[in-house]
Amino acid sequence: MKDLREFMDSTYLKTAEQAGLSEVENKKVVTELIQEAIDEHFKLAMIRPEEVKAGRALVDQHKAKVLLGTVIDFPAGDGGLEAKLKEAKQAVEDGVDELDYVVDYKAFQKGLIDQVKEEVKACTLYGLQAGKAVKWIIEVAALSHTDIIKLTTLIKNVVLSNCKETDYDKVFVKSSTGFYKTEGGKPNGATIETLVLMIENAGPLPVKAAGGIRDRQTAIEMITLGVKRLGTSSAKVIVEGTGSTENY
């Protein structure tokens, strides 16, 4: 197996309010996450859109190879195509490397399939044309197993119908935002069960697992399954083999 660091999308997506911090304190957490990703040679640092510009400056200052990713239409995914593209374009202008869009899974559940296909097509093509990797977060905790299969297949089919074969490995299907509220203590992120469904139906597109990945054993199990990237706020403790109580 490759170095676990090569799979790590080290992630911090809380607003200051969500973290119970001041804006200054929250920005410090973001800076520390990016610095750790640089020092540990993680694949990517995943941050909120408003933090990308400063993050780009920090990475460039260190002449580091770590990529910068951000989330688009996060976490609900129901802002509409125009809002998604506007946010993505700003992130690209600010220097992002990868765009993790939240698919409008609620529209999908309502049967608005053409609307979802249009968003996936337009946003994917925009990202690829801008030279960026694209990931589609489907929010597995909000979906039935049947819906996971159908939505993963929808994304795959849109990409295969509209993109070059050489771009397939740049468009991921991603499990979760990590912010979905579940009931009864159910997982709100990636599970082996849901990842199997995604991997079986996404190929040749790669799959990213995110949400609830807190230990090395789970990370290795998911990578062995076929996952190509791991989104986690516990990247360092995972590669070091220690545990974590973080919720993403």
Among candidate residues 9, 100, 104, 167, the one labeled active-site is 100
Distance in angstroms (rounded) separating the CA atoms of residues 247 and 233 = 8
Integer Cα distance of 189 and 209 in angstroms:
8
Q: Name the CA radius of gyration of the chain, rounded.
A: 17
**Which of 69, 98, 101 lies closest to 83 in space, CA to CA?**
101
Q: How far is CA 181 from CA 9, 47, 197, 207, 239, in A?
A: 22, 20, 21, 22, 28
Q: Which of 14, 156, 174, 236 is catalytic?
A: 174
Sequential DSSP letters for 45-101? EEE-GGGHHHHHHHHHHTT---EEEEEESTTT--S-HHHHHHHHHHHHHHT-SEEEE
- Which residues lie below 8 Å from residue 157, measured CB to CB, with a gap of 6+? none
Q: One of 132, 156, 208, 236 is an active-site residue; which one? A: 208
Residue 108 to residue 83: CA distance in whole angstroms: 18
Active site residue 117: no
Can 174 be counted among the known catalytic residues? yes
Q: Rounded to an integer, what is the distance from CA 188 to the centroid of its chain?
A: 14
Q: Is 181 a catalytic residue?
A: no
Active site residues: 100, 174, 208
